[in-house]
Structure 1
Amino acid sequence: MLCWGSSASGQLGIGASEGFVFEPRSCCMFDGRGLKEVACGSQHSLFLLHDGSVYACGSNSCGQLGHDKGGWRPGN
């Protein structure tokens, strides 16, 4: 999966905050795992895999990730 744009809250899932990513970058977390859909908010992203598992990353200031882990990398 390639991603670019604001990463100020870790919403791209590529690791630590990098501000803004201008060139497409690979998020290897889902390579070969059957990524089915992606939904993006202004400061968070959700990933649905073919096996039904859901991962989230980015800001969790209002519980939008659905877990209590840090949001710099996708977690479930």
Structure 2
Amino acid sequence: MPRYLVAALSVLVVSGLGTSGCSLGERVCSSGEYPVRTVDPTDGGMACAPDGEEPPAGYERFPAGQVPEFVDDVYPD
């Protein structure tokens, strides 16, 4: 198959993923984990805790409606 045809098909496939509802964004946590943030608001740190467990010392759950799912998710304070 000619190279230009392979390149054109690749662009179409990636474009189709963007419009089909699939997201190419990187998830904050792996399956079986949820994101937590540091208690100190000036730190801005974040980690992942196992589902069903409390956040580790120094971390807290995100407020409802502000839990990031993807790395680039931004919510106002």
Q: Same fold (TM over 0.5)?
A: no
Larger Rg: 2
Report the structure, 1 or 2, having the larger helix content. Answer: 2
TM-score (norm 1): 0.25
Report the structure, 1 or 2, having the larger strand content. Answer: 1
TM-score (norm 2): 0.25
